[in-house]
């Protein structure tokens, strides 16, 4: 009987000890369960970018230039697609480049091309649509140019659209 009595007395003592240890550990445990604030700065949908330039001033010339907006401070521009069209007098494929200027004569150019579309009254329409990955830093000018094949000129419209997203810099 004394053995049973000591067991009965030991249970409340053990429960009291467990309760006391939980109360001491509770503030630390609660502090760890708070949610952290997280921002995905590289998520493309967060800061979408799209810009279109239509150039009719290059009609009759051998080169068509496009000037896009300068990348804003605190941002990096990631261009992921180039699309548009260029009308050329003979329907030959042009040489096109997306360029990044670092100041002065320093620049990087990314070539892109197109496919022959329909023949029109002004020549051949070249359809441009190419996936790319090009990075432009804050303050960088974004330019592009297309040069028809040798002996040809830009004969009609010229449209170029860049799309991608901005990344916020730390």
Give the angle subtended at the CA of 7 by the CAs of 6 and 9, to the nearest 5°.
65
Contact 138, 169 (CB under 8 A): yes
pLDDT at 152: 93
Q: Is the pLDDT of residue 13 over 60?
A: no
CB 75 within 8 A of CB 169: yes
Query: Which alpha helices (H) appear in the chain, and where do they start and end?
Result: 2-32
Is 46 within 8 Å of 117 (Cβ atoms)? Answer: no
pLDDT at position 100 is 84
Answer whether residue 28 shows pLDDT above 60. no
Chain Cα centroid distance, residue 25 = 46
The sign of the dihedral angle between the CA atoms of 11, 13, 19, 22 is negative
Q: Is the pLDDT of residue 109 over 90?
A: no
Top-confidence residue, 64 or 40: 64
- Kindly report the backbone phi and psi dihedral angles of residue 32, in degrees, each rounded to the nearest multiple of 5, phi listed first: -80, -10
Structural contact between residues 166 and 77, judged by C-beta atoms closer than 8 angstroms: yes
The structure's pTM equals: 0.71
CB 82 within 8 A of CB 162: yes
Higher-scoring residue by pLDDT: 27, 127: 127
């Amino acid at each position: 009987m004394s053995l049973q009595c000591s067991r009965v007395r030991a249970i409340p003592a053990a429960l009291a000890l467990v309760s006391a240890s939980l109360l001491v550990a509770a503030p630390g445990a609660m502090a760890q369960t708070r949610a952290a604030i997280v921002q995905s700065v590289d998520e493309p949908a967060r800061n979408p970018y799209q810009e279109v330039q239509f150039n009719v001033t290059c009609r009759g010339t051998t080169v068509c230039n496009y000037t896009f907006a300068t990348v804003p401070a605190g941002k990096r521009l990631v261009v992921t697609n180039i699309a548009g069209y260029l009308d050329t007098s003979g329907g030959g494929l042009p040489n096109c480049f997306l360029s990044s200027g670092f100041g002065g004569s320093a620049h990087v150019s990314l070539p892109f091309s197109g496919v022959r579309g329909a023949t029109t009254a002004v020549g051949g329409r070249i359809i441009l649509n190419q996936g790319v990955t090009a990075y432009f830093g804050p303050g960088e000018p974004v330019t592009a140019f297309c040069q028809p094949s040798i002996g040809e000129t830009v004969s009609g419209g010229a449209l170029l659209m860049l799309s991608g997203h901005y990344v916020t810099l730390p």
